[in-house]
Amino acid sequence: MLRQQALRPTMTCLAFALAATLSAPMTATARDTSASRTSRTECPQLSKDLPWYGNNRARLQRMIDERGICGQGSRAGSPRPVAAFDWDNTVVKNDISDATLAWMLKHDKILQPTSWRATNKWMTDAAHRALTRACGTSVPAGRPLPTSTDTDCTDEILDIYADEKTSAGDTAFSGVWNHRRTVPSYVWITQLFAGHTPEQLTAFARKARAENLAAPIGTEQTVGTHSWAGYVRYYEQQLDLIRTLRKAGFDVWVVSASAEPIVRAWAPGAGFPDDRVVGIRNVVKDGKLTTGVQGCGDVADNTGGDALTYMDGKRCWINKSIYGIKGAEAWRKQDPAHRIAFGAGDAETDVTFVNDATAGHLAINRNKTELMCRAYDNADRRWVVNPMFIEPKARQKTPYPCATKGHMNTDGVEGPLRRPDGSVVPDQEDRVY
């Protein structure tokens, strides 16, 4: 999550080869009648006033026309196609978890745990000792730590979260975890929010939202002694795409690796109600967030975060939350009728669900290897690559190592990225930046 420049001339892009025979996915939530969706006299259109790279707008429009109310979605009894968006650096520039954590540290909203080691099952003894030393033991458990003035405590928290190392350079998390389902530091930031109610965390996130939207683009803030991104912006192009998809009959969702109460503070700005938001869900006890995390598929609740909305975990949570698929089956790629039509993301955390989409895949280029290897290989000719709409990344000068390090294995070892037929994806040049 902590993973922190005009558009270049257009390049020739591969057009979508949309397969009309694919069934639109069935949601477990809602279905429009044919009459309500075919009464429109005009097909919903993306704004021509907002710049996209190359012919990306036209390619996205073709997908919308094909799968929405002017295409397959106009058929009598046809289920609504589903679109799913990652949030951080996909719908907005920068990271809302980072923004909320920074605000909470600056306003003494992190509560002293009974033991730092107890906050996360992968935390090392070195990290436990470092946090105990830096934050002290004088504040009773459950009371606010004075992080607005105690820079040692704030710096230790940020170093462990951002770098997965203590301020002294010791490894902060160790053990065994499925690297396609979770990341200990992603779990830990949500565990830092324990002791507050979900509503309180949403309120903190709203205050952070107001500050970050008001700050000029490019703002850096000081948290402890760290320089930290100090602004967030909604991408106007993505807001327009989301609105157009809805008008075209798509059922549009957010699937984020941020804590769900935080996403709920931001999602209304893009028109998302709470029941279309999926994020990391901490177990709630006596009305308050705990360090336990809800599971997915055959992973039970309170397992410490083994099944986050991360990589393959996003597929599981989409299958669970949107399609009602339970048990181990939720981890598996479903038939086209039970997969999203369109997916958008910016990093490895999104690659599985975006690749699962049947009609279109949007990759926001942040130079993330596995996602960009999939996008540039463009196996189904439905991938759209766009630079970040604000402060886009420069071109990656060396090819993405798709053939050797393009795929993260469950044990954390990188290996070749393969297509469905088993062939290896060759290394890919960075072409859209």
Q: What CATH number does the domain containing 277 carry?
A: 3.40.50.1000
Return mean pLDDT, the chain: 92
The answer as to whether 377 is a domain residue is yes
In degrees, to the nearest 5, what angle opens at C-alpha 182 toward C-alphas 178 and 183?
A: 110
Amino acid at 410: T
Least confident of 12-26, 194-208, 289-303: 12-26
Confidence of residue 7 (pLDDT cuts 50, 70, 90): very low
In this model, does residue 3 exceed pLDDT 50?
no
Number of domains the chain is built from: 2
Domain check: are 312 and 212 in the same one? no
> Rounded to an integer, what distance in angstroms lies between the CA atom of residue 106 and that of residue 145?
10
Domain check: are 268 and 250 in the same one? yes
Confidence of residue 364 (pLDDT cuts 50, 70, 90): very high
In this model, does residue 10 exceed pLDDT 70?
no
Domain check: are 208 and 283 in the same one? no
Instruction: Note the pLDDT of residue 77.
Output: 75
The answer as to whether 13 is a domain residue is no
Confidence of residue 24 (pLDDT cuts 50, 70, 90): very low
CA distances from 75 to 24, 25, 43, 306, 367 (A): 11, 14, 15, 41, 40
The answer as to whether 6 is a domain residue is no
The answer as to whether 421 is a domain residue is no
Instruction: Note the pLDDT of residue 322.
Output: 98
In this model, does residue 35 exceed pLDDT 50?
no
**Strand pairing of 360-365 and 383-387?**
parallel
The answer as to whether 371 is a domain residue is yes
In this model, does residue 300 exceed pLDDT 90?
yes
Domain check: are 281 and 209 in the same one? no
**CA-wise closest residue to 86 among 206, 1, 186:** 1
Query: Which residues, 6 or more positions from 95, have their beta carbon under 8 angstroms from its beta carbon?
Result: 1, 2, 3, 4, 88, 89, 229, 232, 258
Q: Which domain holds residue 192?
A: 96-229
Domain check: are 121 and 269 in the same one? no
Domain check: are 365 and 272 in the same one? yes
Domain check: are 282 and 376 in the same one? yes
Mean pLDDT value across residues 34-61? 81
The answer as to whether 43 is a domain residue is no
